[in-house]
């Protein structure tokens, strides 16, 4: 149906073989491959990152909030322009989401000044998102949290779902705050269908996350199978957010491919920037981004307010091009319509006019040209 999909898997026989090997090994639940995936991902991030593989990115965020002790009566600062998982997990732990606007029309990440202004005595965590794989201004956010916390502990959680392999001034995204949360959902830079990773900085937090992941238990099925343990204690109520061996094995292959896949995304993004440069009615964010190396998760553009976005999307569909929106405003969803979430003018405006163009590591430059030529014709 599509000539250019929004995203295509970067899979070959290596992923197939990895999955087959696990099935042949007859050990399919969390085990040695998961441990290797965790340690390899930690090595990839560097800086002594402790990693815990989990079922998906939402599980990673949920556990991050639980580990930070967020609960009823607490406030959690989140960006307005993000995937609904961020606000959902805040609500699910009984806390109040406090929305902060984008920095500007060029920098769609959460505004550090907005974060500083939103911190109150009830603030228990600040949850930031590296939108599109462009790291937030972490120095400014860290000093906002430090200056406004008055000595109270406020956890800084990085939603790095878009940012595996991205860095901020040379430091890997996901390792800068207190906890990092990655998603390995199908369309992510590291793709295993469903999966995620929690990154922690202290041993105490790491142990907490590992207990939360698996029913609060002190040993795993593998430990008992291999004789490392014969029973277990339950040290706190926990969940089952474990990853299985098949996904961990595919994750190891995807991790090897990630640096080159991200570099190719960067080359494709550069071609998009060139071809859409100066096109009237299209604004491209992060054009002059210089805070680090992005992971180019998506290629978002902002359509002029005179354009009908639905008509543009339909025009692209007629030419076999799939596009998307990152993201609809929370207030558009039934669950959040009457939530008193407050106004964030830039994010609301971006939500109404944003269009995401195809970007994936097996995309060709010809495909980028086709998308840009078609888009230019549609809006002309
Ligand atoms: C910014 C952001 N946060 C969180 C998530 C949730 O990740 P998952 O789909 O793995 O639960 C996603 C992915 O869809 C995302 O894009």
Where along the chain do its domains lie? 13-255, 259-379
Judge whether 188 counts as a catalytic residue. Answer: yes
Give residue for tokens 């550090």: 112
Flag whether pLDDT at 346 surpasses 90: yes
State how far Cα 87 lies from the chain centre.
Answer: 13
d(CA 134, CA 293): 8
Q: Residue 77: CB within 6 Å of ligand 1?
A: no
Cα torsion angle, 296, 298, 286, 373, sign: positive
**What pLDDT score does 33 carry?**
98
Flag whether pLDDT at 339 surpasses 80: no
**pLDDT confidence band for 292 (50 / 70 / 90):** very high
Adjacent-strand bridge partners of 283: 302
Candidate from 20-34, 73-87, 218-232 with smallest mean pLDDT:
218-232
d(CA 299, CA 371): 12
**pLDDT confidence band for 323 (50 / 70 / 90):** very high
Architecture of domain 13-255: 3-Layer(aba) Sandwich (3.40)
**What pLDDT score does 300 carry?**
98
Catalytic one among 148, 169, 171, 188? 188
Q: Residue 185: CB within 6 Å of ligand 1?
A: yes
Q: Which of 332, 342, 347 is nearest to 101 (CA)?
A: 347
Looking at domain 259-379, which of 3.30.390.10, 3.90.1150.10, 3.40.50.11740, 3.90.1200.10 is its CATH number?
A: 3.90.1150.10
Q: Is residue 278 a contact partner of residue 55, using CB atoms and an 8 Å limit? A: no
Radius of gyration of the chain (CA): 21
**What pLDDT score does 225 carry?**
86
The residue contributing the CA closest to ligand 1 atom 10 is 57
């Amino acid at each position: 149906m599509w000539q250019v999909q929004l995203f295509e898997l970067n899979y070959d026989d290596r992923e197939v073989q990895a999955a087959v090997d696990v099935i042949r090994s007859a050990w399919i639940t969390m085990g040695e491959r998961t441990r290797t995936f965790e340690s390899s991902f930690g090595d990839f991030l560097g800086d002594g990152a402790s990693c815990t593989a989990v079922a998906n990115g939402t599980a990673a965020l949920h556990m991050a909030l639980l580990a930070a002790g967020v609960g009823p009566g607490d406030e959690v600062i989140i960006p307005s322009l993000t995937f609904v998982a961020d606000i959902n997990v805040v609500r699910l732990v009984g806390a109040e989401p406090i929305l902060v606007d984008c920095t500007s029309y060029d920098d769609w990440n959460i505004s550090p000044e907005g974060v500083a202004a939103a911190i109150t005595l009830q603030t228990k965590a600040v949850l930031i998102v590296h939108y599109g794989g462009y790291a937030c201004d972490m120095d400014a956010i860290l000093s906002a949290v430090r200056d406004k916390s008055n000595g109270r502990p406020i956890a800084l959680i990085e939603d790095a779902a878009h940012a595996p392999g991205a860095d901020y001034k040379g430091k890997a995204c996901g390792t800068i705050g207190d906890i990092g949360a990655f998603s390995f959902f199908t369309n992510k830079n590291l793709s295993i269908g469903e999966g995620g990773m929690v990154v922690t900085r202290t041993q105490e937090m790491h142990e907490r996350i590992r207990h939360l992941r698996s029913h609060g238990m002190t040993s795993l099925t593998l430990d008992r199978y291999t004789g490392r343990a014969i029973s277990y204690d339950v040290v706190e109520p926990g969940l089952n957010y474990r990853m299985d061996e098949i996904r961990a094995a595919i994750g190891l292959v995807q991790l090897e491919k990630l640096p080159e896949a991200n570099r190719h995304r960067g080359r494709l993004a550069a071609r998009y920037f060139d071809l859409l440069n100066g096109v009237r009615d299209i604004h491209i964010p992060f054009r002059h981004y210089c805070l680090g190396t992005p992971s180019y998760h998506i290629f978002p553009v902002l359509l002029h307010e005179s354009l009908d976005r639905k008509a543009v999307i339909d025009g692209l569909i007629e030419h076999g091009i799939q596009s998307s929106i990152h993201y609809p405003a929370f207030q558009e969803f039934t669950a959040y319509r009457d939530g008193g979430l407050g106004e964030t003018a830039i994010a609301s405006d971006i939500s109404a006019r944003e269009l995401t163009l195809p970007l994936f590591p097996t995309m060709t430059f010809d495909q980028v040209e086709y998308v840009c030529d078609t888009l230019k014709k549609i809006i002309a």
